[in-house]
Amino acid sequence: MAADSPVAVALARPVLGAKLPPEWAESLKNGQMAVESDVVTAVRLTQLLTAERNVKVAQSAQKWVVAYANPGGLLDGQVNQWRLAWQQVDLLWVG
- pLDDT confidence of residue 25: 92
- pLDDT tens track for 30-72: 999 888 887 788 778 788 888 888 888 777 777 777 778 888 9
With a CB cutoff of 8 Å and minimum separation 6, the contacts of 86 are: none
Q: How far apart are CA 73 and CA 71, in angstroms?
A: 5
- The per-residue DSSP string of 53-95 comes to HHHHHHHH-SSEEES-B-TTSHHHHHHHHHHHHT--EEE--B-
For the chain, give me the number of helices (H) and strands (E)? 3, 4
Rg (CA), the chain: 14
